Amino acid sequence: MDLKNIAVIGAGTMGNGIAHVFAQNGFAVNLIDVNAGQLDKALQTIQKNFDRQIAKGAATEEQKKNALANLTTFTDMAQGVKEAQLVVEAATENIDLKLNIFKQLDNLAPGHALLATNTSSISITRIAAVTKRASQVIGMHFMNPVPVMKLVEIINGYATSKNVTDSIVALSKQLGKVPCVVNDYPGFIANRILMPMINEAIYSLYEGIAGVNEIDTIMKLGMAHPMGPLQLADFIGLDTCHAILNVLFEGFGNPKYAPCPLLTNMVTAGYLGVKSGEGFYKYEAGSKELVVSDRFRL
Protein backbone atom coordinates (compact mmCIF):
# COMPACT_ATOMS: atom_id res chain seq x y z
CA MET A 1 0.00 0.00 0.00
CA ASP A 2 1.29 3.44 -0.88
CA LEU A 3 1.13 5.49 2.31
CA LYS A 4 2.56 8.95 1.66
CA ASN A 5 -0.18 11.32 2.85
CA ILE A 6 -0.57 11.07 6.59
CA ALA A 7 -3.10 12.85 8.80
CA VAL A 8 -2.44 13.03 12.55
CA ILE A 9 -5.43 13.83 14.80
CA GLY A 10 -4.51 15.57 18.07
CA ALA A 11 -1.49 17.83 18.45
CA GLY A 12 -0.71 17.15 22.11
CA THR A 13 2.29 15.36 23.63
CA MET A 14 2.05 12.35 21.30
CA GLY A 15 0.53 13.97 18.20
CA ASN A 16 3.36 16.48 17.80
CA GLY A 17 5.96 13.71 18.16
CA ILE A 18 4.17 11.47 15.63
CA ALA A 19 3.89 14.36 13.15
CA HIS A 20 7.60 15.11 13.74
CA VAL A 21 8.83 11.61 12.81
CA PHE A 22 6.59 11.28 9.75
CA ALA A 23 7.60 14.74 8.46
CA GLN A 24 11.29 14.05 9.17
CA ASN A 25 11.06 10.89 7.05
CA GLY A 26 9.61 12.63 3.98
CA PHE A 27 5.87 12.03 4.46
CA ALA A 28 3.31 14.81 3.82
CA VAL A 29 1.66 15.38 7.21
CA ASN A 30 -1.60 17.15 8.03
CA LEU A 31 -1.69 17.80 11.77
CA ILE A 32 -5.25 18.34 13.05
CA ASP A 33 -6.49 19.60 16.42
CA VAL A 34 -9.75 21.18 17.57
CA ASN A 35 -7.66 23.72 19.48
CA ALA A 36 -5.75 26.19 17.25
CA GLY A 37 -3.49 27.22 20.17
CA GLN A 38 -2.43 23.61 20.57
CA LEU A 39 -1.39 23.50 16.89
CA ASP A 40 0.85 26.58 17.35
CA LYS A 41 2.33 25.02 20.47
CA ALA A 42 2.95 21.74 18.61
CA LEU A 43 4.83 23.52 15.81
CA GLN A 44 7.01 25.29 18.37
CA THR A 45 7.70 22.00 20.16
CA ILE A 46 8.62 20.28 16.88
CA GLN A 47 11.10 23.09 16.06
CA LYS A 48 12.59 22.93 19.57
CA ASN A 49 12.94 19.14 19.36
CA PHE A 50 14.64 19.44 15.96
CA ASP A 51 17.08 21.98 17.44
CA ARG A 52 17.87 19.47 20.19
CA GLN A 53 18.43 16.71 17.60
CA ILE A 54 20.67 19.07 15.57
CA ALA A 55 22.73 19.93 18.68
CA LYS A 56 23.26 16.18 19.26
CA GLY A 57 24.16 15.57 15.59
CA ALA A 58 21.02 13.42 15.11
CA ALA A 59 19.50 15.75 12.46
CA THR A 60 20.62 18.58 10.16
CA GLU A 61 19.27 22.12 9.51
CA GLU A 62 18.34 20.90 6.02
CA GLN A 63 16.26 18.03 7.48
CA LYS A 64 14.54 20.46 9.85
CA LYS A 65 13.69 22.80 6.95
CA ASN A 66 12.35 19.94 4.79
CA ALA A 67 10.36 18.44 7.66
CA LEU A 68 8.69 21.76 8.52
CA ALA A 69 7.82 22.17 4.82
CA ASN A 70 6.11 18.73 4.94
CA LEU A 71 3.78 19.85 7.76
CA THR A 72 0.40 21.60 7.42
CA THR A 73 -1.98 22.29 10.32
CA PHE A 74 -5.79 22.18 10.34
CA THR A 75 -8.57 22.74 12.85
CA ASP A 76 -11.12 21.26 10.42
CA MET A 77 -10.98 17.45 10.33
CA ALA A 78 -12.82 17.20 6.97
CA GLN A 79 -10.18 19.35 5.25
CA GLY A 80 -7.28 17.66 7.00
CA VAL A 81 -8.18 14.05 6.15
CA LYS A 82 -9.73 14.35 2.70
CA GLU A 83 -6.63 13.06 0.88
CA ALA A 84 -5.16 10.93 3.67
CA GLN A 85 -3.91 7.42 2.95
CA LEU A 86 -3.30 6.83 6.65
CA VAL A 87 -4.84 8.63 9.63
CA VAL A 88 -3.09 8.27 13.00
CA GLU A 89 -5.42 9.34 15.81
CA ALA A 90 -3.66 10.67 18.91
CA ALA A 91 -6.46 12.64 20.59
CA THR A 92 -7.27 12.60 24.30
CA GLU A 93 -7.62 9.12 25.90
CA ASN A 94 -11.39 9.04 26.24
CA ILE A 95 -13.51 6.26 24.80
CA ASP A 96 -16.54 8.35 23.75
CA LEU A 97 -14.31 10.97 22.16
CA LYS A 98 -12.39 8.34 20.18
CA LEU A 99 -15.54 6.47 19.04
CA ASN A 100 -16.94 9.77 17.82
CA ILE A 101 -13.71 10.65 15.96
CA PHE A 102 -13.64 7.23 14.22
CA LYS A 103 -17.31 7.53 13.19
CA GLN A 104 -16.48 10.90 11.62
CA LEU A 105 -13.26 9.62 10.04
CA ASP A 106 -15.12 6.75 8.41
CA ASN A 107 -17.26 9.32 6.56
CA LEU A 108 -14.54 11.90 5.89
CA ALA A 109 -11.39 9.94 4.95
CA PRO A 110 -11.11 8.24 1.52
CA GLY A 111 -12.51 4.67 1.51
CA HIS A 112 -9.06 3.16 0.95
CA ALA A 113 -7.46 5.03 3.89
CA LEU A 114 -6.15 3.04 6.85
CA LEU A 115 -7.20 4.29 10.29
CA ALA A 116 -4.73 3.86 13.15
CA THR A 117 -5.07 4.84 16.80
CA ASN A 118 -2.30 5.61 19.26
CA THR A 119 -4.52 4.69 22.23
CA SER A 120 -2.65 3.35 25.29
CA SER A 121 -5.46 1.07 26.38
CA ILE A 122 -8.80 1.35 24.58
CA SER A 123 -9.87 -1.74 22.60
CA ILE A 124 -8.95 -1.48 18.90
CA THR A 125 -11.76 -3.94 18.14
CA ARG A 126 -14.28 -1.64 19.83
CA ILE A 127 -13.00 1.43 17.96
CA ALA A 128 -13.01 -0.49 14.64
CA ALA A 129 -16.60 -1.64 15.22
CA VAL A 130 -17.99 1.91 14.87
CA THR A 131 -16.59 2.10 11.31
CA LYS A 132 -17.58 0.26 8.13
CA ARG A 133 -13.91 -0.62 7.51
CA ALA A 134 -12.91 -2.65 10.57
CA SER A 135 -10.32 -4.61 8.55
CA GLN A 136 -8.48 -1.29 7.91
CA VAL A 137 -8.35 -0.22 11.58
CA ILE A 138 -5.23 -0.94 13.66
CA GLY A 139 -3.38 0.19 16.79
CA MET A 140 -0.13 2.08 16.27
CA HIS A 141 1.11 2.68 19.81
CA PHE A 142 4.12 5.03 19.75
CA MET A 143 6.07 5.65 22.95
CA ASN A 144 6.81 9.02 24.57
CA PRO A 145 8.96 10.93 23.51
CA VAL A 146 8.19 9.74 19.97
CA PRO A 147 11.28 11.12 18.18
CA VAL A 148 13.52 9.28 20.68
CA MET A 149 11.76 6.02 21.52
CA LYS A 150 12.30 3.18 19.03
CA LEU A 151 9.30 0.97 19.77
CA VAL A 152 5.96 0.96 17.97
CA GLU A 153 3.55 -1.57 19.50
CA ILE A 154 1.26 -2.55 16.62
CA ILE A 155 -2.09 -3.93 17.75
CA ASN A 156 -4.25 -6.10 15.53
CA GLY A 157 -7.95 -5.62 16.20
CA TYR A 158 -10.07 -8.76 15.89
CA ALA A 159 -10.93 -7.86 12.27
CA THR A 160 -7.65 -6.20 11.13
CA SER A 161 -6.49 -7.71 7.82
CA LYS A 162 -3.00 -9.16 7.41
CA ASN A 163 -2.24 -6.77 4.51
CA VAL A 164 -2.95 -3.81 6.74
CA THR A 165 -0.70 -5.15 9.51
CA ASP A 166 2.10 -5.81 6.99
CA SER A 167 1.81 -2.26 5.62
CA ILE A 168 1.97 -0.70 9.09
CA VAL A 169 4.96 -2.87 10.03
CA ALA A 170 6.78 -1.77 6.84
CA LEU A 171 5.84 1.87 7.44
CA SER A 172 7.11 1.80 11.05
CA LYS A 173 10.47 0.51 9.77
CA GLN A 174 10.56 3.39 7.26
CA LEU A 175 10.29 5.73 10.26
CA GLY A 176 13.39 4.09 11.77
CA LYS A 177 11.27 2.41 14.46
CA VAL A 178 11.14 -1.20 15.66
CA PRO A 179 7.60 -2.59 15.29
CA CYS A 180 6.25 -5.40 17.50
CA VAL A 181 2.88 -6.91 16.58
CA VAL A 182 0.49 -7.98 19.34
CA ASN A 183 -3.21 -8.88 19.62
CA ASP A 184 -5.99 -6.75 21.04
CA TYR A 185 -6.62 -7.62 24.69
CA PRO A 186 -6.76 -5.14 27.60
CA GLY A 187 -3.50 -3.19 28.00
CA PHE A 188 -2.02 -4.92 24.93
CA ILE A 189 1.50 -5.93 26.06
CA ALA A 190 3.30 -2.72 27.09
CA ASN A 191 0.77 -1.53 29.63
CA ARG A 192 -0.39 -4.97 30.74
CA ILE A 193 3.11 -5.56 32.08
CA LEU A 194 4.12 -2.01 33.01
CA MET A 195 1.00 -0.90 34.91
CA PRO A 196 0.87 -3.80 37.42
CA MET A 197 4.55 -3.07 38.19
CA ILE A 198 3.78 0.61 38.80
CA ASN A 199 0.70 -0.32 40.88
CA GLU A 200 2.78 -2.76 42.97
CA ALA A 201 5.37 -0.01 43.59
CA ILE A 202 2.55 2.28 44.79
CA TYR A 203 1.18 -0.52 47.02
CA SER A 204 4.67 -0.99 48.53
CA LEU A 205 4.73 2.72 49.41
CA TYR A 206 1.10 2.66 50.67
CA GLU A 207 1.84 -0.31 52.94
CA GLY A 208 4.91 1.48 54.35
CA ILE A 209 7.35 -1.19 53.17
CA ALA A 210 9.78 1.40 51.80
CA GLY A 211 10.03 5.09 50.84
CA VAL A 212 9.81 6.67 47.36
CA ASN A 213 13.58 6.91 47.02
CA GLU A 214 14.19 3.35 48.16
CA ILE A 215 11.57 1.84 45.81
CA ASP A 216 12.85 3.74 42.78
CA THR A 217 16.53 3.16 43.61
CA ILE A 218 15.99 -0.59 44.01
CA MET A 219 14.36 -0.84 40.59
CA LYS A 220 16.93 1.48 38.95
CA LEU A 221 20.08 -0.07 40.32
CA GLY A 222 18.78 -3.60 40.87
CA MET A 223 16.94 -4.09 37.59
CA ALA A 224 18.84 -1.55 35.43
CA HIS A 225 15.64 0.39 34.72
CA PRO A 226 16.47 3.93 33.49
CA MET A 227 13.96 5.40 35.98
CA GLY A 228 12.11 3.97 38.96
CA PRO A 229 8.41 3.02 38.67
CA LEU A 230 7.19 5.92 40.85
CA GLN A 231 9.12 8.50 38.82
CA LEU A 232 7.84 6.85 35.63
CA ALA A 233 4.27 7.02 36.93
CA ASP A 234 4.72 10.77 37.57
CA PHE A 235 6.09 11.15 34.04
CA ILE A 236 3.22 9.24 32.39
CA GLY A 237 0.63 11.06 34.53
CA LEU A 238 -1.04 9.45 37.54
CA ASP A 239 -4.49 9.98 36.00
CA THR A 240 -3.38 8.07 32.89
CA CYS A 241 -1.96 5.21 35.00
CA HIS A 242 -5.22 5.10 36.98
CA ALA A 243 -7.32 5.01 33.80
CA ILE A 244 -5.23 2.21 32.25
CA LEU A 245 -5.39 0.12 35.45
CA ASN A 246 -9.17 0.46 35.37
CA VAL A 247 -9.22 -0.76 31.75
CA LEU A 248 -7.23 -3.85 32.86
CA PHE A 249 -9.41 -4.33 35.95
CA GLU A 250 -12.69 -4.08 34.02
CA GLY A 251 -11.40 -5.90 30.92
CA PHE A 252 -10.19 -9.01 32.78
CA GLY A 253 -12.54 -8.77 35.78
CA ASN A 254 -9.55 -9.62 37.95
CA PRO A 255 -8.96 -7.72 41.26
CA LYS A 256 -5.18 -8.01 40.83
CA TYR A 257 -5.40 -5.02 38.44
CA ALA A 258 -7.45 -2.75 40.78
CA PRO A 259 -5.70 0.61 41.21
CA CYS A 260 -4.07 1.07 44.64
CA PRO A 261 -6.27 3.30 46.89
CA LEU A 262 -3.30 5.68 47.31
CA LEU A 263 -3.18 6.20 43.53
CA THR A 264 -6.95 6.80 43.47
CA ASN A 265 -6.63 9.38 46.27
CA MET A 266 -3.77 11.21 44.56
CA VAL A 267 -5.68 11.41 41.26
CA THR A 268 -8.88 12.56 42.98
CA ALA A 269 -6.93 15.29 44.80
CA GLY A 270 -5.27 16.48 41.56
CA TYR A 271 -1.72 15.27 42.34
CA LEU A 272 -1.03 13.97 38.84
CA GLY A 273 2.79 13.96 38.65
CA VAL A 274 4.92 16.13 36.33
CA LYS A 275 1.93 17.75 34.58
CA SER A 276 0.42 19.11 37.82
CA GLY A 277 3.77 19.87 39.50
CA GLU A 278 3.54 17.17 42.19
CA GLY A 279 3.03 13.42 42.47
CA PHE A 280 5.51 11.14 44.22
CA TYR A 281 8.07 13.87 43.52
CA LYS A 282 7.84 17.70 43.40
CA TYR A 283 8.58 19.43 40.08
CA GLU A 284 9.71 23.02 39.76
CA ALA A 285 10.08 24.75 36.41
CA GLY A 286 13.74 24.95 35.37
CA SER A 287 14.95 22.43 38.00
CA LYS A 288 16.06 18.94 37.01
CA GLU A 289 16.64 17.85 40.61
CA LEU A 290 14.49 14.92 41.72
CA VAL A 291 12.85 15.94 45.03
CA VAL A 292 10.51 13.56 46.88
CA SER A 293 7.14 15.16 47.69
CA ASP A 294 6.90 16.36 51.33
CA ARG A 295 3.98 13.95 51.79
CA PHE A 296 6.30 10.99 51.34
CA ARG A 297 9.29 12.21 53.33
CA LEU A 298 10.11 9.66 55.99
Instruction: Please list the active-site residues.
Output: 120, 141, 153, 191
Least distance from ligand NAD to the Cβ atom of residue 153, Å: 9
Quick one: which of 5, 7, 8, 15 contacts ligand NAD (CB under 6 A)?
15
Least distance from ligand NAD to the Cβ atom of residue 12, Å: 2
Binding-site residue total for ligand NAD (CB under 6 A)?
Answer: 24
Q: What string of DSSP letters covers 17-43?
A: HHHHHHHHTT-EEEEE-S-HHHHHHHH
Where do the DSSP E strands lie in the chain?
5-9, 28-32, 71-74, 86-89, 114-117, 137-142, 151-156, 178-183, 281-282, 291-292
- The answer to the question of residue 198 lying near ligand NAD (CB under 6 A) is no
Which amino acid appears at position 71 of this protein? Answer: L
Site string for ligand NAD, 76-105 (x = CB under 6 A): --------------xxxx---x---x----
C-alpha span between 8 and 31 (Å, rounded): 5
Alpha carbon of 292 to those of 215, 259, 263, 276: distances in Å? 12, 22, 16, 15
By three-state DSSP, how is residue 138 classified?
Answer: strand
Name which of residues 107 to 126 contact ligand NAD (CB under 6 A): 118-120
Least distance from ligand NAD to the Cβ atom of residue 104, Å: 8
Name which of residues 220 to 279 contact ligand NAD (CB under 6 A): 236
Least distance from ligand NAD to the Cβ atom of residue 294, Å: 26
First to last CA, the chain: 58
C-alpha span between 106 and 153 (Å, rounded): 23
Site string for ligand NAD, 137-156 (x = CB under 6 A): ----x--x------------
Neighbours of 177 (CB within 10 A): 21
- The answer to the question of residue 11 lying near ligand NAD (CB under 6 A) is yes
Least distance from ligand NAD to the Cβ atom of residue 202, Å: 18
Nearer CB in complex with ligand NAD: 90/205: 90
Q: Which residues bind ligand NAD (CB under 6 A)?
A: 9-15, 32-35, 38, 90-93, 97, 101, 118-120, 141, 144, 236
